[in-house]
Amino acid sequence: MEGTSSENKYNVILGLPVKIDYKVLETYLQKKLLGKVLSKGKANGETSDHARIQMINLVRSPLEDFDLAVHVQLNLLTTFFKNKVIKAVVHLSLSFKEIDQEVQIRRYKLEGVKNGWFVDKVVETLINNFMYSKLKEKMKFDIRPIVLEKLETLNQRFAAGLEVADGMNITGKINEFRVQEIIPGQRTLLISVKILGNNVLNIKSIDI
């Protein structure tokens, strides 16, 4: 899809801004992480379950140099704190690699949660271990499936003829797309998408 020659086969090349509400990303995180158990490694190589993720909320981070804030509620599983419910906030700084089409976490910061000094230290260790393991995997998040799902719906409407005005519709197909830039806003993630396709504007009637 790179280069002018590969784009010549399309009659529509469009730069389209796409807004994704943070609630959409929140739902994605909930599907991935709700119920996940946070464990801590032992000296003998085994792991011990320490907490389970009960709730996740995603909002814009109020901290400078950070983009998103993930509010989590954890249910502690240790013998001493069993079933104790605590809360924490993890602030994330995002980066986007266009060549890989992936959103990555550049760095994160755990906000003080004030559940008591010792409990906070336990939670801090758990979250740091969890985030470190994710950062080792580069915390990759492919944004394309979310956009692709919406474009597939749009293609279905193009197949039937998407009416844009009385007596006018658009048919055809969006063949390819590529995310070019991602900008975190206050309530939405703004994504610049390059769309390539073959579409036709059909005029069925003219009302003069």
Query: One-letter amino acid identity for 34?
Result: L
Q: Which residue has the tokens 């809360």?
A: 87
Please tell me the predicted confidence (pLDDT) of residue 61.
95
Domain boundary (142, 160, 187) is at 142
Q: How many domains does the chain have?
A: 2
Closest CA to 51 of 113, 94, 138: 113
Q: Which helix (H) or strand (E) holds 185?
A: none
Query: One-letter amino acid identity for 130?
Result: F
Contacts (Cβ under 8 Å, ≥6 apart) of 192: 15, 16, 17, 18, 179, 180, 181, 182, 183
Residues 40, 134, single domain; the answer is yes
Q: Which residue has the tokens 């909930």?
A: 30
The boundaries of the domain holding residue 83 are: 22-142
Residues 107, 185, single domain; the answer is no
Q: Which helix (H) or strand (E) holds 19?
A: strand 12-21
Region of 115 on the Ramachandran plot (φ > 0 left; ψ -120 to 50 alpha; else beta): alpha
Residues 36, 122, single domain; the answer is yes
Residue 86 lies in a domain: yes
d(CA 120, CA 51): 13
Q: Average pLDDT for consecutive 10-residue bins of the chain (208 residues)?
A: 62 85 89 82 62 90 93 82 82 87 83 66 72 56 72 86 84 86 91 87 75
Query: Could you say which DSSP state residue 16 is in?
Result: E
Please tell me the predicted confidence (pLDDT) of residue 152.
85
Please tell me the predicted confidence (pLDDT) of residue 138.
44
pLDDT tens profile 80-111? 777 788 888 889 998 888 887 788 888 888 88
Residues 85, 30, single domain; the answer is yes
